[in-house]
Amino acid sequence: MSHHDILAAAADRARAGQLPYRGAVTPQEALALIEGNAAVKLVDVRTRAERDWVGIVQIPAGQHLAVQWNLYPEGKPNALFLEQLKEVANPDDILLFLCRSGVRSKHAAKLATDHGFSQCFDILEGFEGNKDAAGHRKTVEGWCKAGLPWIGA
């Protein structure tokens, strides 16, 4: 699937789901976009603790941006989220937002869109995906389950 086709499918998902940002991509589509265009950036909104203890996507450092949505251990929203995003990304960059299971990334994509970032996409399923029947992640869906490159803690 070409870069253009992926973005068109993502936009179709936005229209169908009435999403308040440009679109939504699968983890596989996100990786294809990243590999196909060095200007595409993945914004990992998980806490630093999640990245340190659970793992991170394995993509070029210049394409992996870490901007926490919530702070750890406080559990409070990051009041500097937009300011920190503006330090590492431009309003016209293609930004792919990633969190653990695809909830915080949706909020981050919406907030960024509301503040002038025009190319915001949610990565569906997140890094670890939802829990299975036994309460474990990385077994049902997500970046890790898809077998995409990542480095464990």
pLDDT digit string (tens) for 93-104? 999 999 999 999
Q: What percent of the chain has pLDDT over 70?
A: 99
Q: What is the pTM of this model?
A: 0.97
pLDDT class of 153 with cuts at 50, 70, 90: low
pLDDT class of 28 with cuts at 50, 70, 90: very high
* 152, pLDDT greater than 90: no
Torsion angle of C-alpha atoms 121, 22, 88, 28, degrees rounded to 10: 20
Q: What is the mean pLDDT of the chain?
A: 97
Pick the closest to residue 117 from 27, 43, 56, 66 (CA basis): 43
